[in-house]
């Protein structure tokens, strides 16, 4: 199972990143409540670029989770 996760971690993270970006861009809510610390980011780069940035972040989180699952044997 660990080798399967190790082989699929890069394609899975790319798919998750693309899906999150696509879903956020095509299904917008009427309002988004963002913390005060990051409310300026969509104003500077735009909402679509912000959603792509969130998709990249989701892909990196998926890659990290898959990497931690596949590296448990090496410790």
Q: What is the pLDDT along the chain (75 residues), one digit of tens a residue?
A: 778 888 888 999 999 999 999 999 998 777 778 888 988 998 999 989 999 999 999 999 999 999 888 876 555
User: What is this structure's pTM?
Assistant: 0.82
Domain ranges in the chain? 2-74
Look at residues 31, 68, 38, 67 and name the one whose alpha carbon lies nearest to residue 54.
Answer: 38
Task: Tell me the three state secondary structure of residue 65.
Answer: helix
The count of other CB atoms within 10 Å of the CB of residue 65 is 15
């Amino acid at each position: 199972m660990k080798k399967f996760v190790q082989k699929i971690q890069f394609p899975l993270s790319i798919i998750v990143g693309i899906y999150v970006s696509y879903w956020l861009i095509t299904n917008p809510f009427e309002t988004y409540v963002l913390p005060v610390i990051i409310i300026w980011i969509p104003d500077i780069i735009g909402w679509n670029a912000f959603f792509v940035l969130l998709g990249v972040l989701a892909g990196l989180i998926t890659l990290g989770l898959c990497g931690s699952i596949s590296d448990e044997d090496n410790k």
